[in-house]
Structure 1
């Protein structure tokens, strides 16, 4: 999978998903991990590994938005692993 529009980043930073008002440490942990994976993804060269990482990252976004922080963290770990 290649990004047809190289000027557009398919991974949107999750900084807008503030942990503010949340006493749930897992939520802030997911957000921190998303930012870490996003940075690694930005620095990764184009290719299969980056495409695989994107799929896991997007799955993590969906899980996080639905409140499933455990699944989000699992997908983020898979995304990070895909970039190695």
Structure 2
């Protein structure tokens, strides 16, 4: 677990990330991308337009959820708005 987070943090830092939120978002993107790469079922369903993979981040200070990464089937606008 620590290795996965450390890898995301190091990659984000080399790309210019500087805030905690930047690092969290980079890890969310890396984790969701890894899910697609590692799961043939998810990759197949994405290619067929049957599912979406969405990575979210909760900002405690703001009490809000943000979409960090989305790939695949489009979500209706009212569902996306409900995440914020």
TMscore range, shorter length: 0.3 to 0.5
When you count helix as a share of all residues, which structure comes out higher? 1
Structure scoring higher RCO (CA < 8 A, sep ≥ 6) equals 1
TM-score between the two structures when normalised by the length of structure 1? 0.37
When you count strand as a share of all residues, which structure comes out higher? 2
Highest Rg: 1 or 2?
A: 2
TM-score between the two structures when normalised by the length of structure 2? 0.37
